[in-house]
């Protein structure tokens, strides 16, 4: 999870049993998004972020023919319109799918 993701959402997802690794658990605060993205790709982890930078990196990687397990992203303004519970339900729905990510476009917009 990117450091921009709301801590209450992270706690709620962990309570639901999802395995969450936060960027700050691995890298110092302020580490470049590209470093997080590369690390997640090498680990075959899905990256979760709610800032535009990761979406831009994901699109660039796809245009360069690079692969990654997945990116789940949403606009920061979603926090103003949806509750943590709403977002948790969206993550739960994704977790229930057999193949939530399309290999040609592994970016999901919540």
pLDDT of residue 78: 66
Q: Do residues 88 and 65 touch, judged by C-beta distance below 8 A?
A: no
Question: Domain map of the chain by residue range?
Answer: 7-109
What is the mean pLDDT for each group of 10 consecutive residues in the chain (110 residues)? 85 91 90 94 94 92 96 80 89 91 92
pLDDT of residue 79: 67
pLDDT of residue 29: 87
> Which tokens sit at 15?
């309570």
pLDDT of residue 31: 92
What are the start-end ranges of the H helices in the chain?
Answer: 7-15, 23-26, 33-43, 52-63, 78-81, 84-96
pLDDT of residue 35: 95
Q: Do residues 70 and 44 touch, judged by C-beta distance below 8 A?
A: no
pLDDT of residue 12: 93
CA distance 48 to 1: 5
């Amino acid at each position: 999870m990117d450091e921009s993701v709301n801590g209450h959402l992270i706690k709620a997802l962990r309570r639901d049993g999802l395995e969450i690794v936060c960027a700050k658990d691995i890298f110092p605060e302020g580490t470049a998004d590209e470093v997080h993205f590369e690390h997640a790709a090498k680990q075959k982890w899905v990256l979760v972020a709610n800032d535009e930078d990761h979406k831009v990196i994901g699109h660039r990687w796809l245009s360069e023919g690079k692969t990654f397990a997945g990116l789940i992203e949403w606009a920061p303004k979603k926090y103003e319109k949806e509750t943590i519970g709403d977002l948790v339900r969206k993550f739960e729905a994704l977790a229930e799918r057999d193949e939530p990510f399309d290999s040609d476009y592994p970016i999901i917009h919540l």
